[in-house]
Amino acid sequence: MSEILLDSQAFFHNLTFISRHLSAHSTSTKLALVLKDNAYGHGLEQIATLAREFGVRDVFVKTHFEAKRVQALFESITILYGAPDEPLAPNMAIAINNKEILQSLLPGTKVELKVNAGMNRNGINPDELEEYITHIVRAGLELFGVFSHNGYGDEVGEDFAMGCENFRAIKSVVARKCAELGIALPRFHTLNSSGTLRATHIDDDLVRVGIAAYGYLESDATPHIAQQLKPVASLWADRISRKILPCGAKIGYGGKSVLEAQSVVSTYDVGYGDGLYRVNERKILHTASGERILPRTSMDCFSCVSDASRICVFDNALAIAREFDTISYEVLTRLSPFIERTIVRRADKQNE
């Protein structure tokens, strides 16, 4: 059956590369890993295991369901969306974007307050900071973190620097309010992968690394860095059937693929039902070894001129992303959670 192979050495290489950048541009900032959406499609438990092995202690997930699946592996797990339907474990925190979720939490719950620093997506407004912190303290909740999301790390221009400046102002307000209320300072963080790897000075407590850990960085601001990263996941498909077809034979729905010579045509067990994009006659997509994926692909399979019993559909998501005018994130997170994920360890390579 189809399978996603996870290159442990590539993953460790990426985390090492990012850690070295942090060491060069900060004094004590920690690397935290974003595991949301099934670890960007790579497999939550598999990537969590490798992250723990590398030494990651702080992670971010999408839901309480994801948090519970990796509960035993990390010192802190922050849930980015939704309200928990039961008390949180001591190593879990919940992100706060509105007052309604605050009112649903039990005393003692750890919270991370998200603040809008200019992206104008999620997070409370900066002028609400003091009100929220006061409410958190009075409700008996623990202010574990204050964070934002600088949405301009990929872009050339001044917006990234402005977002960083806005977050510094947020930190000042929080520090003053915490002193007034006699509570400890929370942890602070605002940088994602692209922001982390373009920053020349980082003074937050941690950075939230997502896509770069998995081998990608589609950033206009730091195009040279992407070349230093190694994609972790490769998608493999197994042969369902093999046919020797004559010149002129039509293949698949609508007969949109017509053979120009007698060929061996095989069908493989990955389709758009597994999260691979549907290839039609207006799209050109090749496997990792260069065989064209013949239009039109089906829900559960695709065909190509090949006699291989197993084929690598892709080992780099960028080719698919470019053909379908999207980004690597979408290609990876679309992959069905029902496809088996297998960690590959190469004994002949040392960790970098």
Residue 94 in tokens: 């919940």
Instruction: Tell me the three state secondary structure of residue 25.
Output: helix
Residue 229 in tokens: 């990263």
- Residue 252 in contact with residue 303, Cβ under 8 Å? yes
Q: How far apart are CA 106 and CA 184, in angstroms?
A: 20
- Candidate list 36, 110, 171, 177, residue with the active-site label: 36
Instruction: Give the helix ranges, DSSP H, for 112-221.
Output: 129-138, 159-181, 193-198
- Beta bridge partners of residue 31, listed in sequence order: 207
- Nearest Cα to 207, choosing from 190, 219, 194? 190
Active site annotation includes 253: yes
147-172 burial, b for 16+ CB within 10 Å, e for fewer? bbbbbbbbeeeeebeebbebbeebbe
- Candidate list 99, 243, 250, 253, residue with the active-site label: 253
Query: 176 — phi, psi (to 5°)?
Result: -65, -40
* Residues forming the active site: 36, 253
